[in-house]
Amino acid sequence: MLADAWACLLYLYTVFHQLVVPCSHPEQLLVNSVNRQQYLGKWHFEAAVSRRGADIQKFKVLDSVVFTMEETDNETLVLTGHMRMGDDCMKQTWTYQIQPGRDDLILQGRPQRRNLLWSGTWANCPDCIIFQEVEPPLSESDSEDSLNRYMLYARQKDLDPDVTTTFLKKSACRNLKESVRLPQEKEYCL
């Protein structure tokens, strides 16, 4: 009986706490108004979260990823990724367009995908950025996006583990409970 009362009290406290202190949301960085120069250069992929494991499954086989972001002209960003999978290195390039009147990046070849930037200060990391990829439902009868994942990137390769832990905890509060954190045990590919 005492255990039931204790469990009920904890449940009520949790509900009350969520009402008083709801989950925080990251600050969106609007691509048309942000100083893009500060985001050019090298970024280290740290972790990814989503509601579904399928959205982040491809990251689970990776050891480490280093990205370089370059601006080829005022409206085009090129992201080059150097990925380590086991003993192999792979390189892939993505091209993003910036269009007036839009707050997201448009991935070349995937115009239906929204690519949003969020401030890393949400994860207590001013030198980090959070990148979100969202694709609409596959059919009109689906109620959930076909892809929705958030990825944490840091400027330095030796990021304080508390930053990634904060990112994962705050994401879990928003029901993004599926996660992957890259082990980064081997040399980075470059």
Question: pTM for this one?
Answer: 0.85
Domain boundaries, the chain: 28-181
Give the pLDDT mean for 11-22: 47
**Integer Cα distance of 131 and 67 in angstroms:** 12
Higher-confidence residue of 137 and 188: namely 188
Give the pLDDT mean for 88-114: 94
Rounded to 5 degrees, what are φ and ψ at 163?
Answer: -65, -50
Percent of the chain past pLDDT 70, that is, above it, reads 89
- Exposure string (b/e) for 49-77, b if CB count within 10 Å is 16 or more? bbbbeebbeebeebbbbbbebeeeeeeeb
Write out pLDDT tens, residues 52-94: 999 999 999 999 999 999 999 878 999 999 999 999 999 999 9
CATH match for 28-181 among 3.20.20.70, 1.20.120.420, 1.10.3720.10, 2.40.128.20 = 2.40.128.20
Q: Give the pLDDT band (50/70/90) at residue 1.
A: low
